[in-house]
Amino acid sequence: MNIRVVSAIALLCLVWGSLWGLVKHSLQVFPPFLFISTRLILAALTLMLIQRILKKSILPQHHEWKSLIILSLLICFGFYATQTFAMQFVGSGLSAVLVFTMPIFIAVLAHYFLNEKLNTQKILGLILGTLGLIAILWPQLHHVHMNMSLLGQVLLIGSGFFWALSTVYIKKNFAAYDKIKLTIWQLLLGGSLMFVMALLFEPVDAQVWLNPLNESALFYIAVVGTGFAFVLWNWIVSQVDTFVASISIMCIPILSLFFGALIWREALTLNILIGAAFICLGIVMSSLKMKVQKNRLAYAGNQQR
């Protein structure tokens, strides 16, 4: 990876690593789906303004709408809405660990849809990741009874799956697409639909929305943590292998656990630490095949000469 990609990854990890606790706090203040839809729309409108300043096109072409609508539903409802609902019942650090099982799902999806082959080391990584999930979920699984915490954890894993699915979809259909324009519509279409639905079922308290502290948090989450960060993510995905891109941001859940414990006083239980370690080990194990396989191929080529 070149220095631009590495710098983008480092910046993205810092932004997203610090975001989870702030989102968790905001969900205690704002109605959840009004919050998430406002976040998505505000991010999209800010990017639209930037696109206008750059004098680049904003409106998609006629044949692009269908693919953009599918992508927006995957991101806004499959990823964001599921995650937002679940985080009401799960701590921010643990939420990040569960959502960032995404690389494990990408390993499987990319094998079938992007011709990024699933080999022995990736399979071993998937097994280690699964053991990590079991470790994290063990207190609930051990007693085998449904509660909102367990439901939230399962939904967060589902959110990671939809993120992986949308990432593969972007790589397959939008590899060369304008990344700001792509992010605008992937956030705006689904976000607008969610906003209308949220207005029908959630209360609107003007004092909450006009509070300067709440507005500042919402601005950072929307503009920096959503709009800017997703432009970076979409660009990174277009520059490198999808699995490499997902592996490269694996430090985010560790940062989130750290910030959750340090700032929000969230407990780091032994099963969470063991589970996080297994998940990260599984992701690293899966990624090692890239270099190993390439070195073997290069060695074989030199031997033939």
Average pLDDT score, the chain: 85
Greater confidence (260 vs 48) lies with 48
What are the pLDDT digits (tens) for 190-244?
999 999 999 999 999 989 999 999 999 999 999 999 999 999 999 998 888 887 7
- The angle that helices 252-262 and 92-99 make with each other, rounded to 10 degrees, is 170
Is pTM, for the whole model, over 0.85?
A: no
Instruction: Give CA–CA dist 124/120, Å, rounded.
Output: 6
What are the pLDDT digits (tens) for 119-148?
787 778 778 878 887 887 777 666 656 678
Is residue 301 a part of any domain in this protein?
Answer: no
Q: What is the pLDDT of residue 1?
A: 62
Q: What is the pLDDT of residue 200?
A: 94
Is residue 280 a part of any domain in this protein?
Answer: yes
Instruction: Give CA–CA dist 123/245, Å, rounded.
Output: 18
Q: What is the pLDDT of residue 275?
A: 81
Lowest-pLDDT range of 67-81, 159-173, 174-188, 247-261: 247-261
Greater confidence (186 vs 14) lies with 186
Q: What is the pLDDT of residue 156?
A: 93
Is residue 297 a part of any domain in this protein?
Answer: no
- Token pair, residue 221, equals 């989450």
Q: What is the pLDDT of residue 91?
A: 80
**Residue 155 predicted with pLDDT over 50:** yes
- 119 phi and psi angles, rounded to 5 deg: -105, -170
Is residue 200 a part of any domain in this protein?
Answer: yes
Greater confidence (72 vs 265) lies with 72
Q: Taking residues 104-133, report their average pLDDT.
A: 82
DSSP SS3 for 119: coil
Q: Give percent above pLDDT 70 in the chain.
A: 90
Q: Residue 127 is part of which domain span?
A: 3-287
Which run of H or E residues covers position 266? none
Is residue 10 a part of any domain in this protein?
Answer: yes
Q: What is the pLDDT of residue 143?
A: 64
What are the Cα distances from residue 137, in Å, to 65, 133, 270? 40, 6, 12
For 61, which DSSP code?
P
Is residue 194 a part of any domain in this protein?
Answer: yes
Is residue 305 a part of any domain in this protein?
Answer: no
Q: What is the pLDDT of residue 146?
A: 64
Q: Taking residues 81-87, report their average pLDDT.
A: 92
In this prediction, residue 282 has a pLDDT band, given cuts at 50, 70 and 90, of confident
**Residue 118 predicted with pLDDT over 80:** no
Instruction: Give CA–CA dist 246/240, Å, rounded.
Output: 10
Q: Taking residues 158-166, report their average pLDDT.
A: 95
Q: Taking residues 94-101, report their average pLDDT.
A: 83
From 96, 40, 74, select the one nearest 174 (Cα to Cα): 74
The number of distinct structural domains making up the chain is: 1
Greater confidence (178 vs 246) lies with 178
Is residue 279 a part of any domain in this protein?
Answer: yes
